[in-house]
A and B are shown apart, each in its own frame.
Chain A
Amino acid sequence: MELKLHRRTFTKLGILTGASAIILPSCSEVATAPEGGVRLTEDERELMERFAEVYLPTEGTSLKPRSEVPVVDHIERAFGLMDEPILEQVRIGLKLFDYGSVLIGFHLSRFAALSAEQRLDYIRRWENGIAMQRGIVGVLKKLICLGYWQDIEAGRAIGYRGPVSVAGGVVSLGNAPMPERATQEPI
C-alpha cells in the first residue's frame, strides 16, 4: 500500500497556497486511542465517509453495501500500523485535501460538506493536479479500497473466493525432508 507523502511535497504546497498554515486546523488535535493505537478524528472520519460515498457507491449494485462494512474502522486500524512520521504526513495530506476546497478548490466549504457532484468534480481536479494532489487523492482511494475490500464477503460478491485451504480441507505437506547430499566438500 502506498501511504506516504514526502514532507518536501507538503512544503511545496505550503508555498503554493501560502495561507494553509493559518486556515488548516492544528495537527495537535489528533486523537490517540487509550490502548496506544490511533483514533481517527471526527473530521477524518467524516472525510473518509464522504469520500467513500462518491468513490465507491454500492447502492443499487450487486456489491456488498458499504454500510455493512466497517470501512472507516478498518482504516483506523491501518493508521495504527503506520510509523509515526508517515502517519503524520498522511494526516496532513488528508487535511490539505479536506480544506483544500476552501484554499484552492474555489469552494467555500470543506470537501466533506460539498454536494456529491461537487465532491466528484473536486476529486477529478485533484487527480489531474500537481504531483502532491495526485499523491493525496491516491492515498485516499487506497485507504477506502483497503477498508472495504478486506472484507471477505465484499470480495465474494465479485467472485473472489477468499481463503480456500481450510474450507477445502487441503492438508499441509509440512517441512521438506533434509536433502541427501553425497559430499560436504565445496563444489
Chain B
Amino acid sequence: MTDERTAELPSLPVLRVTQPNEIPDSGLRLQADVVIVGSGAAGAVTAYELSRSGAKVVVLEAGPHIPSNRFQEHAPTALETLYEDHGNQLNTTGDLAILQGKCIGGSTVVNAAVCFRAPDQVLRHWASEHGLDNLSSEALAPYFERVEKNLFIHPNEPHEVNYNGRLLIEGAEKIGVPAGPTPRNVKSCALSGHCISGCRTDRKQSMLVTYLPWASQLGATILSGTRAETFEVRNRRITAVQASAIDEDGTKKPVRVEAGLVIIAAGAVQTPLLFQRNEIGNSSGQIGLNFACHPSLAVFGEHENDVYAWVGATITAHAGDIENPLKGGYLLEAGMVGPVVTSAWIDGGIGRDFVDFMQRSKKFQAAVTLIHDHNVGRVYLDGDRKQIEYDIDDRDFESVREALRGAARMYFAAGARRVYLPVTRRTTIDRESDIDSVINGLRNGKHMYRLTSYHPQGTMRMGADPAKSVVGPDGRCHDLDNVYVPDASLFPSSLLVNPQLTVYGMASYISDRILARA
C-alpha cells in the first residue's frame, strides 16, 4: 500500500509498504542482498544506508503500517494499535510496564522525540570494560552529526518550552542542577502534546516519515504485519529468514527471504527471543541476559496557579547531571500526557481525594525520571511465552531516591506547595522540610511504585571478547559470519539518557562497517 497522504504531497519521497492482504495465500518467496528484521530505529537506518549503496533490501516488520493521518491523538487508541502487546507488555513481577512500538517505524513512531548522544562517560566505560575502543565520542561524532542533520535535531526553541518546562528549569537552577531546553527530532513542532500517540502532522521526524520512505524510494521492499520466526542456518550463516504475514482475518501466509546479509533489529526484547527460539549465536551464554530499561517514575508538583503541563510539546525541558551517569546520575524530563496517563503515573488516592487530585491536575508541574540502571534483567522463553525478568536492583533504588529527592527539591524551589510521589498508594510531601524524611522512608520492593520503562536495552551485549559478549565491536555476531545486530539490545550498559539517537548513530556506524567489509 502506498501511504494515502502522498497524493497530496507529490514531490516528497513515498513510503510503499506491502500489507499481508496483498500477499497471496500461497505466500511469498523473495531474494535480496539484505534482509532486515524490524523497521524501528535501527532497522530503518540500516535499510536506508544499505539501500543507498545499491543493495537490494527487504524489511520485515511484525506490526501494521498505520499512516499518520490515521493517528487519533488519543493514548488508549494508540496503545491498542501501535504498541507491543497493546501496551500490556510487563515484567514477570507485573509491576513494570515495558513500552515498545510495534508498527512500521517501531518505537520511533510513539516516542517522545527526545534526542541525546550517549554520554562520554558511558562510552569510556564501554571501552574499558567491554573492549569497545572503537566507540569513543570522537569516533561516533560524525555519525551523530549525520543523524542530527537528517532528523532536524535541535534544542527546543523558547516557544517550545511551556510553563511546565520553565518551572523545571527555574527550580533546577535555584538548587544548582544543570537544566535546559531538551533537544528533539521535531521540525516546526505543532505543539499538540501527542508524541506518544504518533505525530499526526508529521512534525516528529520518526522513521515513518524519514529513513523508511527514503529507503523505499531507493527501492527497498517493506512488508508490514510480517513476523520473522525461523532462521535457516548453514556454516555459521543465516541463509534465509522465514516469517508469517498475518491477514486481518487471521490467515497466516508464509514469507521466505533468502539473503546474503541478515540484520536483526527487532528491539531489545524480540531480538534475543528470535535467537533463543532458533538456538543460535549463543556460545557466550549471554543472549537475553544484561537487560536494562531505565525504569521511570513520574513526579508531580502542585502549584497555586494553573500549569497545564500537557499543553505544548510532550517533553520540553530537562534537568540533571547527564555527564555523570555512573555516579548515581539521574535525569528529569518535564512532560505530562492526558488523563489516562496522569492517573496511571501517580496514585491520587481513593474517593474524594482521587477526584480532587484529577480536578487539580491542571495545576501540576510534571516530570519523569530516568536513571542509569544496572543490567540485572533477563529476557527468555518460557515454553512459547516471552518473559522479561526485571526488578529494580537495590543499588539502582538509591538512584531512584536521588531522582525523586531532586525533583521534590526543584519543585519546591519553583514554588510548588505539595509534591506527589509515584508510590502505589497516595504519598505526598507537603513541606520542603519533609523531603528527606519522606524520601528516606521509601523502600525498594515489588508493587511499591508506578513504574514504566520506555527504553529496553542490553540483551545482545556488544563487546570485544566473544566469551563475554554476543555481538562484536562492528555489530556482527561473534558466532555468525553474515548476521548483524544494530538495535538497542547491543548496549553493554544502560545510557541514562534516552536511547534513540545512540541507536541511530550506532546503526549508521554499523552500516558503514558492513559497507567497508563488502
Contacts and interface: CB of A to CB of B under 8 A. Distances in A.
A149 B308 contact: no
Contacts of B340: 145-146, 149-150
19 contacts: A1-B88, A1-B344, A6-B93, A131-B446, A134-B448, A142-B343, A149-B338, A149-B343, A155-B339, A159-B362, A160-B338, A174-B209, A175-B13, A175-B209, A177-B13, A178-B13, A178-B217, A186-B513, A186-B515
Interface stretch (A18-26, A49-57, A104-112): A49-57
B512 A9 contact: no
Nearest to A128: B425
Contacts of B74: 150, 152, 162-163
Given A134-B425, A175-B210, 19 more contacts: A2-B95, A2-B450, A3-B90, A55-B354, A82-B86, A131-B445, A138-B347, A146-B76, A152-B74, A158-B359, A161-B311, A162-B338, A163-B194, A173-B188, A173-B209, A176-B152, A176-B214, A177-B13, A186-B512
A2 to B, nearest CB: 5
Closest 9 CB pairs of A and B: A174-B9, A163-B73, A186-B512, A145-B343, A149-B339, A4-B94, A81-B86, A134-B447, A131-B446
A15 interface: no
- Interface size range on B against A: 35 or more
Interface string A167-187: 010111111111101001011
A135 B92 CA distance: 12
Given A131-B447, A150-B76, A174-B6, A56 B94 contact: no
A82 B10 CA distance: 40
Interface stretch (A37-45, A58-66, A95-103): A58-66
Contact of A83 (B88, B205, B358): B88
Contacts of A135: 94-95, 446-447
A5 interface: yes
B416 interface: no
- Interface size range on A against B: 35 or more
A55 B310 contact: no
Nearest to B355: A61
A2 B90 contact: yes
Contacts of A14: none
Interface in A78-136: 81-83, 85-86, 89, 120, 123-124, 127-128, 131-132, 134-135
A124 B353 CA distance: 13
B464 interface: no
- Max chain B C-beta neighbours (<10 A), residue from A9, A124, A152, A172: A172
A187 B142 CA distance: 7
Given A5-B94, A149-B339, A187-B142, A171 B201 contact: yes
A28 interface: no
A135 B94 CA distance: 8
Interface in B74-112: 74-76, 79-80, 85-88, 90, 92-97
- Max chain B C-beta neighbours (<10 A), residue from A62, A173, A179: A173
A127 B192 CA distance: 36
Contact of B354 (A4, A56, A83): A56
A134 B445 CA distance: 11
A116 to B, nearest CB: 9
A124 B88 CA distance: 26
Contact of B12 (A5, A61, A174): A174
Interface of B: 3, 5-6, 8-9, 12-15, 52-53, 68-69, 72-76, 79-80, 85-88, 90, 92-97, 142-143, 146, 149-150, 152, 187-188, 190, 192-194, 200-203, 205, 209-210, 213-214, 217, 306, 308, 310-311, 338-340, 342-344, 347, 350-352, 354-355, 358-359, 361-362, 385, 424-425, 445-448, 450-451, 512-513, 515-516
A165 B53 CA distance: 38
Contact of A55 (B143, B202, B217, B351): B351
A27 B267 CA distance: 35
Nearest to A51: B350
B79 A175 contact: no
Contacts of B358: 63, 158
Contacts of B354: 55-56
Contacts of A168: 190
Contact of A163 (B68, B72, B79): B72
Contacts of A6: 92-94
Nearest to B93: A6
Contacts of A181: 52
Contacts of A62: 359
A146 B74 CA distance: 12
A179 B149 contact: yes
A170 B150 contact: no
A62 to B, nearest CB: 7
Contacts of B342: 149
Contacts of A175: 3, 6, 9, 12-15, 202, 209-210, 213
A174 B8 contact: yes
Contacts of A158: 339, 358-359, 361-362
Nearest to A63: B355
A165 B90 contact: no
B318 to A, nearest CB: 23
A154 interface: yes
- Max chain A C-beta neighbours (<10 A), residue from B74, B355, B359: B355
Contact of A57 (B97, B355, B425, B446): B355
